[in-house]
Structure 1
Amino acid sequence: MRFEDILFLALKAVLAIYSPVQNPRVDSFHDLAARYDSGANYLDACNKISKSIKSRDYSTEIRVNPDTTYKCLKSTPYDAVKARSFIDEIKKYAATQSTLAYLKGPPEGYLMPAVDIIGEFDSILRKVYNSHYDFNVAVAKVFTATYDGHFRIKLCSRQLSFTRRELSLVSFANDSYSVPRVYLRQDTKDNYVPSPVYLINRENAESYIKKYSLLSGRFHDPDTLYNSMFNTIQNTLTRPFAGLIINYPPSVYEPYTNVTLNNGTTIIYDTVATVNQPALWTSINNTESFMETFCVNSSRFDNTTSNEPTPPPTDPTPPKEAPPVLTQLQGYPKPALPFYLPANFAGYFLNSISWEDIAVLAVRSFDDDDDIIAPNKYITYLTKYFKYSRLQSKIKLIIDISGNPGGVSDLSPTLFSYLFPQVPLRSYANRRTTKLFDLLSNIASARLFAVSDLQRSEYNYKTVVKPDQSRFATFGEYFGPVEAHNDNFTSAVGLFDLVEDIPSYLSDDTQPFAAKNIILLSDGQYSSAYATFYELIKTFGGVKNIVVGGRPDYKPMQFVGGTKGGLVRSFTPHFDSAISDARDIVETFGLDISAIKGGNDLVNKTVGDSVVPIETGKLPFQLAGREGNAVNIYNAFQVDPKDRNLKRDIPLQFMYEKADYRLFYTKKTVLDIEKHWARVAETTWGNGACVKEAT
Structure 2
Amino acid sequence: MRSVVVYSALAALAACAPQTTPSSTTPSGPASTGEPCGIVSQLVTKAGTTSPSIDAEIAYACLKSIPIDVTAAQSTINEVKKMLSFQSTVEYLKNPPSGYGNEGVDLLGGLDDISTKVGNGGYTNEYDFEHDMTALIGQAHDGHLSFEGTAFSGAFQWQRTTKLPLISGSIDGKEAPKIWALFDYNNTAAYTPSAITKIGDKDAVQFIQDESDYYFYHDADARYNSMFYSTTAGSYGYFTTPKYYPGPTLDFTFENGTKASFVNQARIRDYKPWAKITDGKTFYSAFVSPSTSVVKHKKRSPDAIPLNLEMPKSTQLSRRALPYSFPATTNEHKDDVNIASFFIETSEGTVGVLMAQTYDVEDAEDAREFQSVIQKYIAEAKARNVIKNIIDIRSNGGGKILLGYEMYLQFFPSQEPQLQSRYRGGKATEVMGSSISSVKYSEANGDMYTWPWNFHSYVSKDLEAFNNWTDMYGPDKFNNDEFTKLLKYNLSEPLSTSSEKFGLGLTPTSYQTRSNFTVDPFNASQIVLFTDGMCGSTCTLFTELMVQQSGVKTLTMGGKPDGGPMQAVGGTKGSMVLQGEFLQGVTTYIMSTFAKSKADRDEWLTYLPTKFAIGASMTVNFMDTIRKGLEQDGVPTQFYNDSAACRLYYQPEFYLNVTAAWEKVAQVAFGKDGAMDDEACVAGSVSTKEAQTGGGEGNPNPTVPGNNNTTTTTTSDSTNKNNNGTPTPTPSTAAAASSMARPASAWTAIYVVVASSMLFGTSLL
TM-score (normalizing by structure 2) = 0.76
Cα 1:613–1:508 change in 2 (3 A) is closer
Unaligned runs of 5+ in 2: 1-15, 300-316, 498-506, 687-765
Aligned ranges for residues 28-43 of structure 1 at < 5 Å?
none
Cα 1:646–1:440 change in 2 (3 A) is closer
Match of 1:634 in 2: 623
Unaligned runs of 5+ in 1: 19-39, 301-309, 316-322
Contact 1:256 1:271 in 2 (8 A): yes
Give, in whole Å, the separation in 2 of the partners of 1:584 and 1:312.
Answer: 27
Give, in whole Å, the separation in 2 of the partners of 1:342 and 1:496.
Answer: 29
Contact 1:558 1:657 in 2 (8 A): yes
Match of 2:57 in 1: 67
Q: Give, in angstroms, the shift of residue 330 of structure 1.
A: 7.2
Aligned ranges for residues 183-222 of structure 1 at < 5 Å?
183-189=180-186, 192-216=191-215, 218-222=216-220
Match of 2:671 in 1: 686
Q: What SS does the corresponding residue of 1:126 show, helix, strand or coil?
A: helix
Cα 1:293–1:547 change in 2 (3 A) is same
Give, in whole Å, the separation in 2 of the partners of 1:347 and 1:434.
Answer: 46
Contact 2:285 2:292 in 1 (8 A): no
Give, in whole Å, the separation in 1 of the partners of 2:270 and 2:64.
Answer: 20
Aligned ranges for residues 293-692 of structure 1 at < 5 Å?
293-298=286-291, 326=320, 328=322, 331-350=325-344, 352=345, 354-370=347-363, 372=364, 374-449=366-441, 451-494=445-488, 497-500=491-494, 501=497, 503=508, 504=512, 505=514, 507-572=516-581, 574-583=582-591, 585-586=593-594, 592=596, 599-601=600-602, 610-614=606-610, 616=611, 619-623=612-616, 629-640=618-629, 646-686=631-671, 689-692=680-683
Q: Give, in angstroms, the shift of residue 121 of structure 1.
A: 0.7
Contact 1:159 1:276 in 2 (8 A): yes
Q: Give, in angstroms, the shift of residue 224 of structure 1.
A: 0.7
Give, in whole Å, the separation in 2 of the partners of 1:381 and 1:96.
Answer: 36
Aligned ranges for residues 106-255 of structure 1 at < 5 Å?
106-127=96-117, 128-157=122-151, 158-166=153-161, 167-189=164-186, 192-216=191-215, 218-235=216-233, 237=234, 239=235, 241=236, 244-250=239-245, 253-255=246-248
In the alignment, residue 180 of structure 2 is paired with which amino acid? Y
Q: Give, in angstroms, the shift of residue 553 of structure 1.
A: 1.2
Q: Report percent identity of matched pairs.
A: 25
Cα 1:363–1:348 change in 2 (3 A) is same
Q: What is the aligned length?
A: 621
Q: What SS does the corresponding residue of 1:357 show, helix, strand or coil?
A: strand
Cα 1:417–1:7 change in 2 (3 A) is closer
Give, in whole Å, the separation in 2 of the partners of 1:142 and 1:77.
Answer: 21
Match of 2:726 in 1: none
**Which stretch shows the higher mean deviation, 100-109 or 182-191?**
182-191
In the alignment, residue 676 of structure 1 is paired with which amino acid? A
Match status 1:82 vs 2:72: yes
Cα 1:528–1:478 change in 2 (3 A) is same
Cα 1:267–1:466 change in 2 (3 A) is same
Give, in whole Å, the separation in 2 of the partners of 1:519 and 1:326.
Answer: 30
Contact 1:367 1:408 in 2 (8 A): yes
Q: Give, in angstroms, the shift of residue 654 of structure 1.
A: 0.7
Q: What do residues 434-467 of structure 1 show as CA deviations (whole Å, max 9, x unaligned)?
A: 2111111111112223743311221112332212
Match of 1:33 in 2: none
Give, in whole Å, the separation in 2 of the partners of 1:286 and 1:461.
Answer: 52
Q: Give, in angstroms, the shift of residue 75 of structure 1.
A: 0.4
1:96 to 78, 86, 90: 86
Contact 1:563 1:653 in 2 (8 A): yes
Q: Give, in angstroms, the shift of residue 94 of structure 1.
A: 1.6
Give, in whole Å, the separation in 2 of the partners of 1:674 and 1:314.
Answer: 38
Contact 1:570 1:630 in 2 (8 A): yes
In the alignment, residue 151 of structure 1 is paired with which amino acid? L
In the alignment, residue 454 of structure 2 is paired with which amino acid? N
Give, in whole Å, the separation in 1 of the partners of 2:342 and 2:44.
Answer: 44
Q: What SS does the corresponding residue of 1:599 show, helix, strand or coil?
A: helix
Q: What do residues 63-112 of structure 1 show as CA deviations (whole Å, max 9, x unaligned)?
A: 12212101110000012111101111111112210000110010011111
Match of 2:711 in 1: none
Q: Give, in angstroms, the shift of residue 680 of structure 1.
A: 0.2
Give, in whole Å, the separation in 1 of the partners of 2:350 and 2:21.
Answer: 54
Cα 1:338–1:556 change in 2 (3 A) is closer
Cα 1:148–1:425 change in 2 (3 A) is same
CA RMSD in angstroms, aligned pairs only: 2.9
2:37 to 38, 42, 46: 46
Give, in whole Å, the separation in 2 of the partners of 1:105 and 1:206.
Answer: 29
Q: Give, in angstroms, the shift of residue 356 of structure 1.
A: 4.5
Match status 1:269 vs 2:262: yes
**Which stretch shows the higher mean deviation, 271-280 or 656-665?**
271-280
Q: Give, in angstroms, the shift of residue 52 of structure 1.
A: 1.9
Give, in whole Å, the separation in 2 of the partners of 1:243 and 1:601.
Answer: 44
Contact 1:326 1:343 in 2 (8 A): no
Contact 1:447 1:585 in 2 (8 A): no
TM-score (normalizing by structure 1) = 0.83
Give, in whole Å, the separation in 1 of the partners of 2:356 and 2:78.
Answer: 40
